[in-house]
Amino acid sequence: MTRSIAVTSALACLLLATPGWAQSPTSIVSKLGVDEDVRSGMKVLIDEILNGSVILPDQPTAGTTLDAVPQVQLRGNNVQANVPSGDYVQQFPGFRPFVHATQSEVSTAAYGKNIVLGYNNSAGLHVIPNPSGPGLILDRILFSGFAASGDGGQTWTNGFLPPSPDGVTAGDPSVGVDRHGNFYYATLAADAVHGTIQVNTSIDGGVTWSDGVVVQEDDDSDKEWLAVGRDPVHGDRDNVYVTWTSFQPTACELRFGRSTDGGATWTTKTIFVPSADPNPAHPQNCLQFSNPVVDSVTGTLYVPFLRYSNANQDFIQMMISDDAGDTFRFASFNQPGAPSPTLLPVTQPGELTACGGTNIRLTIHGTANAGPGRFGFPRYINSSRLVLQPAVAARNGIVYLAWSNSQSLFYGSSAGSDILYLRSDDGGDTWTAPIVANPTVSTDKHHVLPSLTIDTDPNDVHISYYTQHTDTSVDLDMANSHDRGDSFPVNRTVRVTSTSSALPPTNIPLTNAPAFDATNYDRLVAVCYGLGEYQSVTSSNGSVYVGWGDDRNQLTEPVNALNPISGQTHPEQDVFVQKVKVQ
């Protein structure tokens, strides 16, 4: 589908030359006096679309020096799921190149040998001269891509998720599958007027998809996540659930959608409105990164999410529904020193760094430093944003929970991070003590962005995560337990990637103080967006499948006088998948 937003929609055009987007005050969290923007990279894209401006000509910029990265070739059994020929470059006089070559942030679902990956795909964006005046506009905004395999992941069909009528898609994919093999895909999107939460359905293993169905119009929506599973009363029916954050004037609300007819129609409501607290170490009025899951035996719905404070430690909370979302209660973590039994204290991973001109983000990064940015924070050219989204699974009243936690108690420090794990054997009323799931290796610094699944045998717990080594290269690893997570033996940890890779240049400086403007090498994508904000592991019929964003492939930049990295070769993001057998 190709559509000129400027001509046919009230969404108008897109401003990228200057930071013209607006952000809600409730998407800003003040941490120890530093304002952090907690929007996802895809929410930034939606806000830019709704802002309604044009892409203006570029100004000359100083050259930027990147770390030298050797050419890396594919090897081993990792399979690239996106089609390399789908990437492309557009060039216009007076503009830096438009490189459409970002595929990452992967969600995975499987049913038998049918596997579906949802991912962000900048090849679905297309720029044309503005027919109404100077500058450029986006005439195609299909940022939500998919790959489908019917042979267990050996071969793949690619495409773009259809939008709702007169709409666009804006990424943050979340996919799931019901007990009949029907796949569902939730994404951020927009219709002709508003930002939306959208869900599509596939009945042929993910090869083709229905038009997007709008769950709710919500200009302030972000970070939606989907769960599919049996109804707690009607055991022969599977429900589809979606949760998301809505940045409202006084709070970041947790919203909820439910479909009992396979995604055809939806009911929605707000299920939690957090309040501020005068104690900065207590939870405040913002939350993010919900991750619903359905107990496949009982039908109980669990919704963990991150709750922000204004101090070093934040918190995980979890809402539980035994009646398909009609009512909710909170899980009780009962952690020593927590302000409430319902709060699990956490310290977000990553170092606070300057991303572009306005944002301070938690990232992992390379060594190329462009000097101090806003408020004196370092600007690392090769950066990838970090978030803390709880990873969760549940079966027959047993709940499994994992997250990435800083090794320091100080927010935003340069310390490393680990994957922490705990379990409840009674549906969330009591929990084991947290343990570290990843092995301790002197050459590994960060373990981040985990995903969790349980196997056919519920004793088998699998946690996939990115490992960043002390040389700044990145791999995807998987920790495995055969005792429901009481232990994750080192000899059961699997390196999923067949080769390490370097982070791409996503925070390339264009100007210094006072603007501190920067660009991703893929300029239509938010700065410091590299690996994406998650990867995904799932299991089906005794097999475990992992889908992730990978930087092993290389891109040579077009030669262009306005391009600060003209002619340089650097990593780009692609989607890879691996079937993993753990003995």
**Given strand 417-424, what is the order of strands in its sheet?**
391-395, 398-406, 417-424, 435-436
- Mean pLDDT of all residues in 83-95: 95
Positive/negative CA dihedral, 134, 166, 532, 422: positive
Average of per-residue pLDDT across 284-290:
97
| pLDDT for residue 61 is more than 90 | no
- At 7 the pLDDT is 26
CA 204 and chain centroid, separation:
26
Mean pLDDT of the region 12-36: 58
Residue 581: the pLDDT is 79
Stretch among 28-37, 121-130, 371-380, 395-404 having the lowest mean pLDDT: 28-37
Of the ranges 74-88, 232-246, 424-438, which one carries the lowest mean pLDDT score? 74-88
**What are the Cα distances from residue 144, in Å, to 42, 190, 218, 508?**
10, 12, 18, 25
Q: What is the token pair recorded at 264?
A: 């055809």
Query: What SS3 class is residue 509?
Result: strand
Q: In which band, very low, low, confident or very high, does the pLDDT at 53 lie, cut at 50, 70 and 90? A: low
SS3 assignment for 214-270: EEEECCCEEEEEEEEEECCCCCCCEEEEEEEEEECCCCEEEEEEEECCCCCCCEEEE
Band the pLDDT of 73: cuts 50, 70, 90.
Answer: very low
- Mean pLDDT confidence for 120-148: 96
* pLDDT > 70: percent of the chain: 92
Distance CA 562, CA 308 (A): 40
Which residues, at least 6 apart from 336, have a Cβ–Cβ distance to it below 8 Å? none
pLDDT at 17: 31
Residue 541: its pLDDT value, please?
83
Q: Is the pLDDT of residue 311 over 90?
A: yes
Lowest mean pLDDT among 12-21, 185-194, 213-222, 260-269: 12-21
Minimum mean pLDDT among 244-248, 288-292, 369-373: which range? 369-373
Mean of the pLDDT values across residues 104-116?
97
CB 64 within 8 A of CB 493: no
Total-model pTM: 0.94
**Contact between 262 and 200 (Cβ < 8 Å):** no
Tokens of 355: 């991303």
Of 10-24, 226-240, 493-507, minimum mean pLDDT range: 10-24
Please report the DSSP string for 96-107 in residue order.
--EEE-BEEEEE
Q: Which helix (H) or strand (E) holds 384?
A: strand 383-385
Per-residue HEC secondary structure of 385-431 comes to: ECCCCCEEEEECCEEEEEEEEECCCCCCCCCCEEEEEEEECCCCCCC
Q: Mean per-residue pLDDT for 82-97?
A: 96
What are the Cα distances from residue 555, in Å, to 11, 127, 193, 254, 574? 32, 20, 36, 39, 11
Residue 218, pLDDT above cutoff 60: yes
- Residues 6 or more apart whose Cβ sits within 8 Å of residue 567: 556, 557, 558, 559
Cross-strand partners of 193? none
User: Does residue 71 surpass a pLDDT of 70?
Assistant: no
Biggest distance spanned by C-alpha atoms of the chain: 65
Q: According to the model, what pLDDT value does residue 47 have? A: 78
For the stretch 402-451, pLDDT in tens is: 999 999 999 999 999 999 999 999 999 999 999 999 999 999 999 999 99
CA 89 to chain centre: 25
Residue 285 in this model has a pLDDT that exceeds 80: yes
Q: What pLDDT sits at residue 166? A: 92
CB-based contact 153:79 (threshold 8 Å): yes
For 534-549, the DSSP string reads --EEEEETTEEEEEEE
Looking at residue 261, what is its pLDDT? Answer: 98
- Residue 528: name the closest of 573, 497, 471, 559 by CA: 573
Residue 32, pLDDT score: 84
Across the chain, mean pLDDT equals 91
Of 59, 61, 192, 53, nearest to 136 (Cα)? Answer: 53
Percent of the chain whose pLDDT exceeds 90:
83
Phi, psi of 241 (to 5 degrees): -120, 150
pLDDT number for residue 63? 65
Q: Which pLDDT score is estimated for 458?
A: 83
What whole-number distance in Å separates Cα of residue 360 and Cα of residue 378?
10
> What local confidence, expressed as pLDDT, does residue 59 receive?
85
Residues 6+ apart with CB under 8 A from 435: 420, 421, 422, 485, 487, 488
Which two tokens mark 328?
Answer: 């909710």
pLDDT band at 60 (very low <50, low <70, confident <90, very high): confident
CA distance 75 to 546: 17
From start to end of 46-100, where are the E strands?
Answer: 79-80, 88-90, 98-100
pLDDT at 286: 97
Phi, psi for residue 124 in degrees, rounded to 5: -85, 5
Q: Which residue, among 534, 543, 576, 404, has the nearest Cα to 107 in the 3D structure?
A: 534
On whether the CB atoms of residues 27 and 39 are closer than 8 A, the answer is: yes
The average pLDDT across 214-234 equals: 97
**Average pLDDT of 537-565?**
95
* Residue 72 scores a pLDDT above 90: no
The label of the residue with tokens 């029907």 reads 182
Judge contact between 64 and 370, C-beta under 8 A.
yes
CA atoms of 390 and 305, how far apart (whole Å): 6
Pairwise CA distance, residues 93 & 33, whole Å: 43
The three-state secondary structure class of 213 is strand
